[in-house]
């Protein structure tokens, strides 16, 4: 288990308890370290690794933790570390593919006060925010929002809006994004680099906490959202000059079984032309739930290639968590 405590932000970048409008120490202590282990034969093991580390945020008095889902998917063991040095086992309670959020339940009394949840809809570009990682004030960062916009990920993932902050936090996975009143408004997902004139702006992408609020009770009660699973194709696509290119295929996934190949251009879904990832995903998802057959038009070596992909539930390809 890697030790990530031997570094710190410069004092000028750390929030000051005397300057913020909330209990800074309480907020810092609500962020825990998560370490997970995934079996070697897990579906996500090759891409995401078998040992994963990041952050989680305590959001309820019973110790319920929200994190970014890729840290815990297929995990058969999770350890939770608090700022006062305690380590407890945890159970991967839920991973919602649509939002990317994950929940962990401590298997014991955590004794960490929860963070109140706010709303990412109440902040905007140039607003001051705070990014909190596990490890005390040294791992807390003053930041600002530089963008608030739609986000599409190549792994068949789409958010109506995400928050982008700068400067970047080096341990962003599952980190807490707080507004100026200390309320949780986002969970860390990615490191990003974007061209801005001759410069490159570096930062982090956060999933807004608002996507979790409507489904939280269902996730806690059943481990999944009440919404039907979306159709999953098992392909990794990218945008290039208004073209959609298949960059990879999940082994044994629906797209591979349908005959799609790496390098194919995606032209249309159900005879509707698509040129962006967002258009592609929305066009697929509006056809029906998982299991729906998805008619697609590809371009390959200058020829038009029609395919019909029998979509699947992504969750059916993953190992399921179990209490032992």
Backbone phi, psi, residue 197, to 5°: 70, -125
Q: What is the Cα–Cα distance from 208 to 82, expressed in whole angstroms?
A: 24
Domain range 120-210, CATH architecture: Beta Barrel (2.40)
Neighbouring-strand partners of residue 68: 101
Q: What is the Cα–Cα distance from 174 to 179, expressed in whole angstroms?
A: 16
Q: What is the Cα–Cα distance from 308 to 269, expressed in whole angstroms?
A: 10
CA-CA-CA-CA dihedral for 180, 181, 182, 187, to nearest 10: -60
Range 99-121 average pLDDT: 96
pLDDT at 301 over 60: yes
Give the CATH fold of the 17-114+215-222 domain.
Answer: Thrombin, subunit H (2.40.10)
The confidence score (pLDDT) of residue 242 equals 85
Condensed to tens digits (0 to 9), the pLDDT of residues 118-128 reads 999 999 999 99
List, as one string, the DSSP characters of 13-71. Answer: GS--TTTSSS-HHHHHHTEEEEEEE--TT-TTHHHH-SEEEEEEEE-STT--EEEEGGG
- Tell me the pTM: 0.94
Pick left, alpha or beta for residue 257 (phi over 0 → left; psi -120 to 50 → alpha; otherwise beta). Answer: alpha
CB 194 within 8 A of CB 204: no
Q: What is the Cα–Cα distance from 135 to 73, expressed in whole angstroms?
A: 23
Q: What is the Cα–Cα distance from 4 to 2, expressed in whole angstroms?
A: 6
Condensed to tens digits (0 to 9), the pLDDT of residues 178-231 reads 999 999 999 999 999 988 777 889 999 999 999 999 999 999 999 999 999 999
Q: What is the Cα–Cα distance from 214 to 65, expressed in whole angstroms?
A: 16
Condensed to tens digits (0 to 9), the pLDDT of residues 233-269 reads 999 999 998 899 999 999 999 999 999 999 999 999 9
Q: Which of 3-12, 132-141, 291-300 has the lowest mean pLDDT?
A: 3-12
Q: What is the Cα–Cα distance from 139 to 158, expressed in whole angstroms?
A: 29
Q: What is the Cα–Cα distance from 126 to 235, expressed in whole angstroms?
A: 35
The distance in angstroms from the start CA to the end CA of the chain is 22
Q: What is the Cα–Cα distance from 183 to 318, expressed in whole angstroms?
A: 33
Q: What is the Cα–Cα distance from 55 to 81, expressed in whole angstroms?
A: 9
Could you tell me the residue ranges of all domains in the chain? 17-114+215-222, 120-210, 235-313
Identical fold at 17-114+215-222 and 120-210?
yes
Share above pLDDT 70 across residues of the chain, in percent, rounded to a whole number: 97
Tell me which CATH code domain 235-313 carries: 2.30.42.10
Neighbouring-strand partners of residue 78: 36, 90
- What tokens appear for 310 in the block? 């029998």
CB 13 within 8 A of CB 145: no
Q: What is the Cα–Cα distance from 132 to 167, expressed in whole angstroms?
A: 13
With cut-offs at 50, 70 and 90, classify the pLDDT of residue 322. low
The confidence score (pLDDT) of residue 3 equals 47
- What tokens appear for 109 in the block? 């009394």
Alpha helices in the chain (DSSP H): 24-29, 45-48, 216-222, 254-257, 277-285
Task: Establish whether the linkage from the previous residue to 190 is cis, with ω within 30° of 0.
Answer: no
CB 25 within 8 A of CB 187: no
């Amino acid at each position: 288990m890697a030790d990530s405590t031997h570094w710190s932000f410069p004092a000028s970048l750390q929030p000051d308890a005397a300057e913020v409008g909330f209990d800074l120490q309480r907020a810092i202590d609500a962020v825990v370290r998560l370490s997970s282990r995934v079996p070697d034969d897990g579906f996500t093991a090759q891409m995401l690794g078998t040992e994963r580390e990041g952050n989680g945020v305590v959001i309820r008095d019973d110790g319920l933790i929200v994190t970014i889902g890729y840290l815990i998917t297929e995990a058969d063991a999770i350890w939770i570390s608090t700022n006062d040095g305690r380590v407890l086992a945890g159970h991967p309670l839920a991973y919602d593919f649509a939002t990317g959020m994950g929940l962990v339940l401590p298997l014991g009394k955590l004794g960490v006060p929860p963070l109140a949840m706010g709303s990412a809809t109440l902040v905007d570009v140039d607003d001051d925010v705070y990014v909190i990682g596990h490890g005390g004030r040294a791992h807390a960062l003053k930041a600002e929002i530089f963008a608030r916009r739609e986000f599409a990920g190549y792994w068949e993932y789409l958010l109506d809006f995400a928050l982008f902050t700068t400067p970047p936090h080096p341990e962003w996975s599952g980190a807490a994004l707080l507004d100026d009143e200390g309320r949780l408004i986002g969970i860390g997902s990615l490191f990003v680099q974007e061209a801005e004139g001759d410069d490159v702006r570096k930062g982090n992408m956060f999933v807004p906490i608002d996507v979790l609020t409507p489904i939280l009770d269902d996730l806690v009660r059943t481990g999944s959202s009440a919404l039907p699973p979306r159709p999953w194709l098992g392909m990794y696509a990218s945008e290039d000059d208004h073209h959609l290119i298949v960059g990879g295929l999940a082994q044994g996934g629906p797209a591979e079984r349908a005959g799609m190949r790496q390098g194919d251009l995606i032209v249309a879904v159900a005879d509707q032309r698509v040129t962006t990832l967002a258009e592609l995903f929305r066009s697929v998802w509006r056809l029906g739930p998982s299991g729906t057959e998805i008619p697609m038009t590809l371009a390959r070596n200058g020829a038009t290639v029609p395919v019909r992909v029998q979509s699947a539930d992504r969750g059916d390809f993953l190992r399921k968590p179990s209490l032992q």
